[in-house]
Amino acid sequence: MPPVTRTLIIANVAVFLLESGGDASLFTRFALWPSAPLAGSSVPAFEIWQLVTYSFLHANVAHLFFNMFALYMFGSDIERLFGPRFYLAFYFASVAAAALSHLVVTGWMGAPPHPTVGASGGIYGLLLAYGMYFPRRMLMLIFPPIPMPARVFVIVFGALELVLGVTGTQAGVAHFAHLGGMLGGWLMIRYRRR
């Protein structure tokens, strides 16, 4: 496993173990909170570092496992392709773009203030890069087990996130953050190609 991908996985697992140790202040200070909480609300205020720190927090073991599995699966090849320095910049640009997209969309929709956590924004950026650079590689969905080329896999996941986000299906999942991660990844690829 390439070094940056390995380090990101170790850091995510370590933070999850700290989070599971019962320190609620870790979650409160470093999750992504709305930029303008309601007056008199007990909701923590948005801080600039939350654009990155939220990605190291996870809701439960399954959330952590699937994100880290995807980071290993897609990140390893992308890190080898991009090199460690650009790969790290790419990953965190996807994470930050996901956070900003989520804040803009939830603010525009007037959604109630909830913390956002998880590495999914960065993962969706990596997924997009994987589909663009390895479009013919075959991937297998877990449920149901259907093989498909990486390009189709990415299109299906992007379309699914858009539909679920617009319809409000699957409450508690930041669908527009996932799409924002893809957007951040696409912008970084455009930058790299120039």
| Dist. CA 25–CA 23, nearest whole Å | 5
Sign of torsion, CA 28 92 174 66?
A: negative
- Where is pLDDT greater, at 168 or 185? 185
Furthest C-alpha separation in the chain: 53
Collapsed DSSP state (helix, strand, coil) of residue 9:
helix
Q: What phi and psi, each to the nearest 5 degrees, are found at residue 135?
A: -65, -25
State the pLDDT at residue 143. Answer: 74
State the pLDDT at residue 60. Answer: 92
Per-residue pLDDT for 133 more than 60? yes
Residue 107: alpha-carbon gap to chain centroid: 19
pLDDT one-digit tens code per residue, 3-62: 999 999 999 999 999 988 876 777 888 999 887 655 556 677 888 999 999 999 999 999
CB distance 165 to 179 below 8 Å: yes
CB distance 128 to 182 below 8 Å: yes
Read off the pTM: 0.91
- Where is pLDDT greater, at 120 or 115? 120
| Dist. CA 59–CA 44, nearest whole Å | 18
Domains of the chain: 3-193 (1.20.1540.10)
Alpha-carbon radius of gyration of the chain: 16
CB distance 30 to 53 below 8 Å: yes
pLDDT one-digit tens code per residue, 63-118: 999 999 999 999 999 999 999 999 999 999 999 999 999 999 887 776 666 788 99
